[in-house]
Structures are given as structure tokens and as C-alpha cells.
Amino acid sequence: MPRARKEEAPILLDEPEVTGRYVELGSYTVSFETFHTDADPAPLFRGLPENRCQCPHWGVVVSGRLDARYADGEESFTAGDVYYLAPGHLPHPHAGTELIEFSPTEALQATMAVVGANMAPQSTVTP
């Protein structure tokens, strides 16, 4: 049976805002993410339908707080909560939040292609 442990998953994202470790299990990607800052992620989702994440996610808040904003409201999850984020959300993890999340790999890759393109211009800006 496939399994994953945070310390064994490769670090694929190491930015001032977030550290992310990811591993594929079958047709799902398991994400171990730690958020270091409190930032509005909305600009990263520009270009997706409704400018919102269209990938569903199931997860656990290990520590901190995760807000999910939808067109018709907001949900908040705190340490110990198990959650489901439906397509059409904007995630807002707060500084100090650690998540373990499960996402369909194909949908996640489509979303991350847009997020990555939106991050690229930020990384080329020099002070």
C-alpha cells in the first residue's frame, strides 16, 4: 500500500511565504505545506475560472488557521480540523499554518501551471 511521510517527501517549494513537500500516491498528490507569512494569495489564481482555485482538496490543519473564501461566503478551519475545499475557492492560510492536503494530481497540476506563471513575474522583480 502506498504511503508518505513528511520528512521523506521532497521539498519542491521553498519560498519565504511557504515550504512545500509533495508526493504522488496513485492519482492523488499529498502536500505537506508550512506557511511562514500572512499574505493574500488571490493574485496567484488570476487566469483560472472566476480567478479561483478549481482543484478540490481534502486536508487536515496540523497547526494554525486556514480560511477558504468562496463567491458566496467564507469558511475557517483551525488545528485539528479535517476539511474539504470545493472548486471555486481562494485559500488563505495564515502565518504559522501547517497543512496536510490531498488533491487529484491532474487538477492540481492544471492549477499550479497558472499559479506558477503568476509567481514568475514576482520572482524576476529586483529591489
The alpha-carbon radius of gyration of the chain (Å, integer) is 14
Q: How far apart are CA 106 and CA 100, in angstroms?
A: 18
DSSP string of 14-77, one letter each residue: E-SSEEEEEEEETTEEEEEEEE-S----GGGGBTBGGGSB-S-EEEEEEESEEEEEETTEEEEE
CATH architecture of 7-105: Sandwich (2.60)
Helix (H, G, I), strand (E, B) or coil at 112: helix
Domain locations in the chain as residue ranges: 7-105
Q: How far apart are CA 72 and CA 79, in angstroms?
A: 24
pTM: 0.89
Give the tens place of pLDDT for each residue, 68-119: 999 999 999 999 999 999 999 999 999 999 999 999 999 999 999 999 899 8
Q: Which of 40-49, 60-69, 74-83 is least confident?
A: 40-49
Q: Which helix (H) or strand (E) holds 90?
A: strand 90-93
